[in-house]
Structure 1
Amino acid sequence: MVAFFLLSAVHFWLIHSLLHWGPLYKYVHRLHHRNVTPGPWSGISMHPVEHILYFSFFLVWWVLPVHPLLILLTGLYKGIEPTVSHSGFQKITIGKKLKIEAGDFFHQLHHGLFKVNYGNNIVPLDALFGNWHDGESDKSLKDE
């Protein structure tokens, strides 16, 4: 199950970075970025090509044999996750102990600055490739 979240995070970062490449951004991903201040519905507001790329994660299960339940959970997670990361909440608390990191602030910065934070907080690929932003540093990005 841990491998699922790691693979999913890497896949999302790769696809999202690709969607910020010139022609794909102009004709496909720009629709999603019309939402400068994201909300839950903007998470799933995507061009059909972007949906195909996003859900292409299922192709991983053709290579790696997994239990059918994990395939169903993949669909559930991939369907709900965009609404969570665009929810307006940094953490979602269930009961007294369970806290789910929504990563909303991280993604809000992406929608505001466009050139940073392509991934999520699970795998630090943005930090590794130099496009991570914390909202405080790098005055040049804050001025954009």
Structure 2
Amino acid sequence: WAAANGYMPGLEWRQNPIWFAAFFVIIPIWSSFHFYLIHRLLHWQPLYKLAHGLHHRNINVGPWSGISMHPVEHLLYFSSVIIHVVVPSHPLHVLFHFYQEALNPPFTHSGFEQVMMGDTPRIAAGDFFHQLHHRHINCNYGTREMPWDRVFNSYHDGTGVISKKGSSETEMLKDIT
């Protein structure tokens, strides 16, 4: 609707095929960066108490916990698609972006890393990286595919103990219930 009515800049393949194709690569990078920033923001105590704490009640994650969010959190999470109002894009880019945003949370909250066939990993289907976030709360805010947690010093590989104040679920959740 927004594209058809001139509320967002459009892009056709014939106008710039390189940008058209490149934007499919840029969208996941942008989405990951946006997710990292929004996720850090949601861990600010007032927003955590208002919205994100609901999501973190799922300490032992499963696919449904990925989309178990407060409406405020959903608005912030899906706000990454607002980029299409500014950056010229095609409706295929917008659909790709929405599909990615909708399908990523169940996978990253599946509670396991891979589907195995015997002893051989066959399909990457989960994200232990994010499961660590649900266990320790103050680490691994981003996605495993992008380096944002390493860049911003919030990466945890699962070894040792996080000793920063506020790392336990009990401490973060005490004011929510």
TM-score for the superposition, normalised by structure 1: 0.88
Q: Residue 128 in 1 paired to residue 128 in 2?
A: no
1:15 matched to which residue of 2?
38
> Secondary structure in 1 aligned to 2:163?
helix
Q: Residue 62 in 1 paired to residue 80 in 2?
A: no
Mapped to 2, the partners of 1:74 and 1:3 lie a distance apart of 10
Aligned pair partner of 1:43 in 54, 63, 66: 66
Shift of 1:140: 3.3
1:30/1:75 CA distance change after superposition, 3 Å: same
Structure 2 residue identity aligned to 1:41: W
Are the counterparts in 2 of residues 15 and 53 from structure 1 also a CA contact under 8 Å? Answer: yes
Structure 1 unaligned blocks of 5 or more: none
Aligned pair partner of 1:4 in 2, 7, 27: 27
Mapped to 2, the partners of 1:44 and 1:139 lie a distance apart of 26
Structure 1 residue identity aligned to 2:107: V
Structure 2 unaligned blocks of 5 or more: 1-23, 117-121, 169-177
Are the counterparts in 1 of residues 107 and 125 from structure 2 also a CA contact under 8 Å? Answer: no
> Secondary structure in 2 aligned to 1:136?
coil
1:139/1:113 CA distance change after superposition, 3 Å: closer
1:101/1:116 CA distance change after superposition, 3 Å: same
Shift of 1:99: 4.3
Matched residues, number: 140
Shift of 1:54: 0.4
1:53 matched to which residue of 2?
76
Aligned pair partner of 1:110 in 126, 129, 133: 133
Are the counterparts in 2 of residues 109 and 135 from structure 1 also a CA contact under 8 Å? Answer: yes
Mapped to 1, the partners of 2:92 and 2:130 lie a distance apart of 29
1:51-90 alignment runs, 5 A limit = 51-90=74-113
Mapped to 1, the partners of 2:90 and 2:114 lie a distance apart of 30
Shift of 1:47: 0.2
Mapped to 2, the partners of 1:26 and 1:47 lie a distance apart of 11
1:9/1:101 CA distance change after superposition, 3 Å: farther
Shift of 1:101: 6.2
Are the counterparts in 2 of residues 6 and 122 from structure 1 also a CA contact under 8 Å? Answer: no
Structure with the greater alpha carbon radius of gyration: 2
1:111/1:17 CA distance change after superposition, 3 Å: same
Mapped to 1, the partners of 2:37 and 2:139 lie a distance apart of 13
TM-score for the superposition, normalised by structure 2: 0.72
Q: Percent identity over the alignment?
A: 49
